[in-house]
Copies of this chain bind each other. A is one copy, B any other.
Amino acid sequence: MAEIAVIGAGLIGRAWTVVFARAGYIVRLWDPDEDVRKAAPQTLLDACILSGDDASALDRVHVCDTMENALRGVEWVQENGPERLELKRALHAEIDRVTAPEAVIGSSSSALVASSFAEGLPGRGRILVAHPVNPPHVIPVVELCPSPDTTTEAMDRAEALMRAAGQVPVRMSQEVDGFILNRLQAVLLAEALSLIARGIVTPQGLDDTVAHGLGRRWTLMGPLATINLNAPGGVTDYLDRYGPTMARLTADSAGGGAFAPEVARILADALPSPDQVPALSRDRDRRLAALSRHLTETQFSQQEP
């Protein structure tokens, strides 16, 4: 079976390790911190237990003592370094230098685009962003975003590999700040924070609107398949009927000013306190894994063409 290097064994790197190992790949894992490397067998086991994954997959994981060892002979590198530009550039220069030329290199970067750290490197054509939603072993989407230098072949191979690993790759045609997911999240959050700051709805009411309403359709089929079913004549009919209303609702929607300190205070008062974050995060991941299994078991009988 093909081999994959996972660079960085924090939360995201460990989740990627589970993704690739359970799909049958040999995973060569490395982290610059020796303590993190030593703890990896246990922390990987914890990740499997939380998600309900079969921990025997971890037999395919090799924790390596140097990055060079981890990168030897792999066909894919999943890089999970810190989101600081200088560190990221240095890391990719080193990965590019020691990895076999046929390997493809994906970065889990959420804030930095690939051109910012791959520009000028000899292997820039094989470097792209493969941005997961944390943690990827319980949320399958991965955004594949090229730099202007990334080759079509590298994108093809990234897409095929992610699909083979059981993830849902979303292929972008060009580099865009925020990729897709965070751009969608940003506009919805801005409007949400504005409605709360204006006192129109409480934080709990806002979350309820999505969790017990809008979000359910979106989770079953996405926002476009959703509107395709919301008018008898499909999406064209929907946009004819409701497009002008939707356009009107965006006309006075919130901008970046919504991310203001005053609303942060309202939210901090309404939401669970920071000391509850670790336990709630574990609970979230357990529920995400259960939701993933539920959605797989109850597939839409007719898929989009």
CA distance A272 to B273 in the complex (A): 44
Cβ of A277 < 8 Å from any Cβ of B? yes
A181 to chain B, nearest CB (A): 5
Give which listed residue, B174, B178, B195, B280, contacts A302 with CB less than 8 A. Answer: B280
A262 to chain B, nearest CB (A): 11
A86 to chain B, nearest CB (A): 18
Q: Using CB atoms, name the residue of chain B closest to A278.
A: B232
* B residues in contact with A171, CB < 8 Å: 201-202, 205
* B residues in contact with A35, CB < 8 Å: none
30 contacting pairs across A/B (C-beta < 8 A): A141-B214, A168-B213, A176-B200, A180-B195, A180-B205, A181-B213, A181-B214, A187-B249, A187-B250, A190-B246, A206-B222, A207-B222, A207-B224, A210-B219, A219-B219, A221-B284, A224-B267, A228-B271, A234-B273, A234-B274, A239-B261, A239-B264, A243-B259, A250-B254, A250-B258, A251-B255, A270-B304, A284-B300, A291-B294, A291-B298
